[in-house]
Amino acid sequence: MSIDFQVLMSALSVKRPIFHSEADFQHAFAWEMHERLNRKADLFLEYPIRATCGNMFVDIFVNDKGERFAIELKYKTRDLKHDVYSLKKHGAHNLGRYDYLADLMRIESFINKGEIDAGYAIMLTNDDLYWEESEKTASTPFPISGNTIIQAGMQLSFDENASRGGIGKCRLENPIQLMDTYQCKWKNYSHLCKDARGGMFRYLLLEAKRKMPAAKLP
pTM for the whole thing? 0.89
Domain locations in the chain? Answer: 5-127+183-209
Q: Which DSSP symbol is given to 13?
A: H
| 3-state class (DSSP) for residue 149 | strand
Neighbours of 116 (CB within 10 A): 23
What are the start-end ranges of the E strands in 26-79? Answer: 42-51, 54-64, 67-76
* Tens of pLDDT, residues 102-141: 999 999 999 999 999 999 999 999 999 999 876 655 457 8
What is the predicted pLDDT for the residue at 215? 41
Q: Render pLDDT for 27-48 as a digit per residue (tens, 0 to 9).
A: 999 999 998 887 778 999 999 9
Taking only the tens place, the pLDDT of each residue in 48-75 is 987 656 678 999 999 988 999 999 999 9
β-sheet with 118-125: strand ranges across:
42-51, 54-64, 67-76, 118-125, 200-209, 186-191
